[in-house]
């Protein structure tokens, strides 16, 4: 049972993650799921828990990429056959503008209705 305050839906989109506001260390990744509270990212390297990150999230909804701030709240290392290690990384959004919230909510509603 999903007991999150903001349930997530499986949804893949491209995201650019910048740890601790260091543009030179940006990481390209994909989302595994998304909700109004945050995202789960699939990363090739682990990030520090509770570290701040900036996200540039392309929702594939014909709008511009969202620029959001968040905090890494959990990291789980997993090993995938033939690929090496990947990291499931939970990022909680720090604050959403009403417009960003609306776009994410629309994506969640659409993806949830397909499930």
Q: Higher pLDDT residue, 115 or 15?
A: 15
pLDDT of residue 1: 39
- pLDDT tens, residue by residue, 68-83: 999 999 999 987 666 6
Q: How far is residue 104 from each of residues 25, 95, 115, measured CA to CA in Å? A: 26, 13, 17
Please compute the mean of the pLDDT values over residues 22-41 and round it to a whole number.
Answer: 89
**What is the percent of the chain with per-residue pLDDT over 70, rounded to a whole number?**
89
pTM score of the predicted model: 0.87
Q: 50: left (phi > 0), else alpha (psi -120 to 50), else beta? A: left
* Residue ranges of domains in the chain, CATH in brackets: 9-108 (2.40.10.220)
Angstrom distance (rounded) from CA 13 to CA 105:
15
pLDDT of residue 41: 95
């Amino acid at each position: 049972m999903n007991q999150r305050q903001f349930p997530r839906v499986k949804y893949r989109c491209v995201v650019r993650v910048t740890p601790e506001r260091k543009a030179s260390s940006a990481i390209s990744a994909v989302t595994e799921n998304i909700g109004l509270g945050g995202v789960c990212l699939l990363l090739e390297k682990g990030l520090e828990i509770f570290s701040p990150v900036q996200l540039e999230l392309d929702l594939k909804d014909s709008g511009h990429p969202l620029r959001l701030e968040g905090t890494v709240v959990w990291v789980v290392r997993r090993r995938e056959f033939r690929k090496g290690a990947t990291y499931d990384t939970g990022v909680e959004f720090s604050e959403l503008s009403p417009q960003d919230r609306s776009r994410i909510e629309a994506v969640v509603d659409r993806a949830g209705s397909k499930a």
